[in-house]
Amino acid sequence: MTHSNKNSAFNFQNYYSTQKFTVFINANTHIKFVVDKTPAPRKPAQTLAELDTAPTRLIHLRDGDVVLYRVSRSRSWQARFRTYANKWMRFSTGKRDVEDAKRYACEAFDEAKYRERLGFALMVKRFDEIAKYCCEDMRRDLAAGVGKKLYTAYIAVIETYLIPFFGQMFLTSITHKQIAEFELWRNARLKRNPKTSTLLTFASAFSRICATAVEQGWVSATAKFPKLNVRGERGGVRPAFTDKEVIQLREHLTTWHTQAKGYTAEMRLLLRDLVDLLIQTGMRQGTESMGLMWKHIEWHEEKGVRYLRMWVKGKTGERWLIAKHECVNTLKRLQSNQPDITSLTFDELIEKRLPLLVFRFADNNEPFEMNKVFKRLLIETDLLRGQADRDRTLYSLRHTYATNELLSGTDIHTLAKQMGTSVLMLERHYSKLTATMAADKLAGNIDNSSH
């Protein structure tokens, strides 16, 4: 503090902030405050002890064995606890509320102590942590080319349904009651009662998460998990096309591309060949047809007859399938619209085994939204609605193939291998054809003498 004789002036340093203020007292005893808001220069720290430290807050629980703390990069409470081996385990509670964080940390501590006594892995992962690891593992397999096509469906189920509902739970603590609550919640989101095939996908995705937890040592191999229900509504008759309707489609496709330009015209040309290929092979649209390359096609000779066979990779794995003989003309049409291979004969093209997509535009780009283009075709030809008043799709061409093969007498076991499915699946969806297939036997021989 300093003092002046004229007008008494007293200077004060505010030690609780960086501001200064001065008090003037004149002869009339008026008091005037002058505040200098300019921050006072701070003396640089000369020693480590003089450095300012960030305020820390530690919360000790369980006689100091469990500690909660904050870090600047996270809004959630962090935790650490001491094991029997006197080592610290650190993890995020994922909780912002301190009471929730305390409860979570203590539960994790108790579980880890129990697991340590039994010789299991110490840390228990939440359902969402296991599920995310499971999805990453499947994505790595898909990227490496060793994953199944079904993995895409599993990932969608896990991320859209399983994680949002079970995410904050522990896998081993999920009860049958919670499974039932999940199924009601899921059906409400689906806005329908799912078919058995859909429920099987959900159950398989859940089982894969359980298997991942066991493989990684996060859950004991002897642990028992609840299972999702797989009994759903039976699928209805799958819509197919009659022979007359197939002819109608093909006639319309012959000139349909002339009514458009650019990519739209090219897509209509490709659709014409795609429709034929699906009817002539029974392969799956999308997973198998769009990934087909010229190198996957070859001639196969048996008993002096040459057959065209194709190597496809679908949701049930890889397999060879035999195409109808007329499929050669379909492939030749596709070849004629691809400038980089038109100079080759068809046999030369097959022999070269080129890694080029069979279905592609002239500029080598891949086609897109083929299902939408096909739907527009069905609307124009008034063929959209099929059996049981269900919409037809490109997948209906696969059902058309199966129906025609069964009616023509193809053995169901041979057909199952050709289509990459099971005999049980064929019987389930095409059981109504059984009587038709055996019509002659069931009706008996015609006795001409009775006429």
Q: Is residue 367 part of a domain?
A: yes
Share of the chain above pLDDT 70, in %: 80
Closest CA to 270 of 251, 289, 245: 289
* Nearby residues of 262 by Cβ (< 8 Å), 6 or more positions away: none
On whether residue 226 sits in a domain, the answer given is no
Looking at the 3D structure of the chain, how many domains does it have?
4
Residue 44 has pLDDT above 90, yes or no: no
Is the model more confident about 114 or about 63? 63
Residue 108 has pLDDT above 70, yes or no: yes
Give the model's pLDDT for residue 215: 87
**Residue 439: pLDDT band by 50, 70, 90 thresholds?**
low
* DSSP codes of every residue in 111-161: HHHHHHHHT--SPPPBHHHHHHHHHHHHHHHHHHT-S-THHHHHHHHIIII
More confident call, 33 vs 384:
384
Indicate the Cα dihedral angle 331, 336, 337, 338, nearest 10°.
90
pLDDT score at 53: 46
Q: What is the pLDDT of residue 445?
A: 52
Q: What single-letter amino acid sits at 131?
A: A
Residue 49 falls inside a structural domain: no
- Is residue 449 situated within a structural domain? no
Based on the fold, state whether residues 109 and 250 are members of the same structural domain: no
Output the pLDDT for position 317: 82
Please state at what angle helix 262-281 crosses helix 327-336, rounded to 10 degrees: 160
Distance from the first to the final alpha carbon of the chain: 135
94 within domain boundaries: yes
Top-confidence residue, 120 or 29: 120
Rounded CA gap, 267 and 265, in Å?
5
Question: At CA 233, angle to CA 230 and CA 234, rounded to 5?
Answer: 100
**CB-based contact 228:199 (threshold 8 Å):** yes
Mean pLDDT of 431-445: 58
Same domain, 390 and 251: yes
Q: Give the β-pairing of 88-92 and 20-25.
A: unpaired
Which domain range does residue 162 map to? Answer: 127-215
The string over 122-153, giving b where at least 16 C-beta atoms fall within 10 Å of a residue's C-beta and e elsewhere, is bebbbbbbbbbbbbebbeeeeeeeebbbbbeb
Burial of 346 (0-12, 13-18, 19+ CB in 10 A): middle
Residue 31 located in a structural domain: yes
> Residue 129, CB half-sphere, CA atoms under 13 Å: how many?
16
Domain limit, last residue, from 195, 215, 235: 215
d(CA 41, CA 53) in angstroms, rounded, equals 19
The answer, yes or no, to whether residue 33 has pLDDT greater than 50, is: no
| 151 and 207 share one domain | yes
31 & 83 share domain = no
| One domain, residues 298 and 371 | yes
Q: What is the pLDDT of residue 427?
A: 81
Percentage above 90 pLDDT, the chain:
50
Lowest-confidence region among 200-209, 329-338, 401-410: 401-410
Residues 393 and 330 grouped into a single domain: yes
Q: What is the pLDDT of residue 18?
A: 46
- Residue 18 covered by a domain: yes
Residues 134, 113 within the same domain? no
Judge if 404 and 265 occupy the same domain.
Answer: yes
For residues 280 and 378, membership in a common domain is answered with yes
Q: Tokens in use for 320? A: 């060879």
Tell me how many degrees the CA angle 291-294-295 measures, rounded to the nearest 5: 95
pLDDT tens digits for range 345-375: 999 999 999 999 999 999 989 888 899 999 9
Quick one: CA torsion of 15, 21, 22, 25, rounded to 10 degrees? Answer: -100
Does 294 lie in the same domain as 162? no
64 and 95 belong to one structural domain: yes
Rounded CA separation 169/147 (Å):
28
What is the C-alpha separation between 172 and 167, in angstroms, rounded? 13
Same domain, residue pair 143 and 258: no
In a domain, 316, yes or no: yes
Q: At 303, is the pLDDT very low, low, confident or very high (cuts 50, 70, 90)?
A: confident
Per-residue confidence (pLDDT) for residue 112, from 0 to 100:
79
